[in-house]
Amino acid sequence: MTHHKVPKSEHSIFHTRVDALRADDPPLGVEPATDNNVMNITEDCLFMRTATGSMYGGRRSMSWWATIVTVFTFFFFSLIGYWIYLHDRDQNGYSAGAISHYLENWCYPIGTSAAFFLGCFWIFIPWRTQLPIIFNRKTRRVTCIIQGKCLSERWDHLDAYIKDVTSFAAGSGPINEGVLTLAFPYVKPDSRNDDWHLRIGIYATSDHPQAVINRGIYGAAQVWEYIRLYMREGAGALPPSYALAPYAISSAREAVQQFNPLKVLRVQHPAWLIVAVPFFLFIALPVAPLVMLGDIFYMWLDRTLPRRKWPQALIDACDGVWDGKDD
């Protein structure tokens, strides 16, 4: 089996793939990092989100964007409702006030935004049903659920693969993301091939400074080194998170701080104010409050919507110290 060391240079990282990694392989030469991929850390267990869980759940995920767009939809159709009120007042002799007109036609903005929200609600199902990959230092085992099957493998025997995948196109160029894929041996009842594996992925870190300037495969290597560091030295050795936007907020104040439009005016050179001031007045100032409201709405959904109950096998895999209720 051939091992490839991930180089630190940006040029070579763009052309490197790492295959068949093992726990006892030499270091990849990258800084450990993971950000929002971590669900929880205890003395003996590291709980990692799957790629699907990260894509559908948490801030900046598909479900978060669906919530933000719902707020924008409500605001947009409320503005249309106000324009209709002005038309009725000036052209049709409507004598009541704007609030009365809005209450008489409340189903228009609320119904439209509710229809959009319900149409996107399928996105919330993977978010609320996600289950972690559990790395247990005490038992030296890795456990997860793949295709409804609870699989467990010795950490020292686990195969990992780092892949660079193209997720979608932005403008004229593709967006590349790294995925750390874990392969679990599995014997198919209807197959004569004993060398069968079920695979599960973890997204590369995207917020770490090195992951920002390098390609996705670099961030996936950082996640692998983060996991290896935990399994080797424990939680105390792990670096702090560099996440630009935490997976979830605990109070409305955090949403206000995160999307404060005044940040736009914090430029390094006064000349940039020529661009920053118009952007602040016409884009950041009107948009930021709506994003804040959407973020707070998402926090409320996170606390309200039911979650999938963990299978007992996963609870046993982490020695019963956590069952996902406080995620």
Q: Mind listing the pLDDT tens digit for each residue in 204-220?
A: 998 888 887 777 888 99
For residue 304 the two structure tokens come to 């309200």
Q: So what's the pLDDT on residue 71?
A: 97
Question: Model confidence at 178, in pLDDT bands (50, 70, 90)?
Answer: confident
Q: Give the residue, 131 or 8, on which the prediction is more confident.
A: 131
| Rounded-to-integer distance, Cα 141 and Cα 268, Å | 49
Q: So what's the pLDDT on residue 158?
A: 94
Helix axes 62-91, 107-119, angle to 10 degrees: 160
Q: So what's the pLDDT on residue 5?
A: 43
Question: Model confidence at 167, in pLDDT bands (50, 70, 90)?
Answer: low
Share of the chain above pLDDT 90, in %: 66
Q: Mind listing the pLDDT tens digit for each residue in 220-237?
A: 999 999 999 999 999 999
C-beta of residue 252 within 8 angstroms of C-beta of residue 49? no
Measured CA to CA in angstroms, residue 282 lies from 71, 276, 279, 295 at distances of: 19, 10, 6, 21
- On the question of pLDDT at 252 being above 80, the answer is yes
Question: Phi, psi at residue 318, to the nearest 5°?
Answer: -110, 25
C-beta of residue 216 within 8 angstroms of C-beta of residue 51? no
Q: Mind listing the pLDDT tens digit for each residue in 267-318?
A: 888 888 898 899 889 999 999 999 999 999 999 999 999 999 999 999 999 9
pTM for this model (two decimals): 0.86
Q: Give the residue, 19 or 81, on which the prediction is more confident.
A: 81
C-beta of residue 78 within 8 angstroms of C-beta of residue 109? yes
Question: Model confidence at 325, in pLDDT bands (50, 70, 90)?
Answer: confident
Q: With CA atoms as reference, report the closest residue to 36 among 25, 51, 22.
A: 51
C-beta of residue 160 within 8 angstroms of C-beta of residue 224? yes
The residue written with tokens 């992951």 in the block is: 211
The residue written with tokens 């041996």 in the block is: 185
Q: Region 118-131: what's the mean pLDDT?
A: 94
- Which range is most confident: 14-28, 140-154, 180-194? 140-154
Residue-averaged pLDDT of the chain? 87
Strand partners, 144: 151
Q: Region 11-24: what's the mean pLDDT?
A: 59
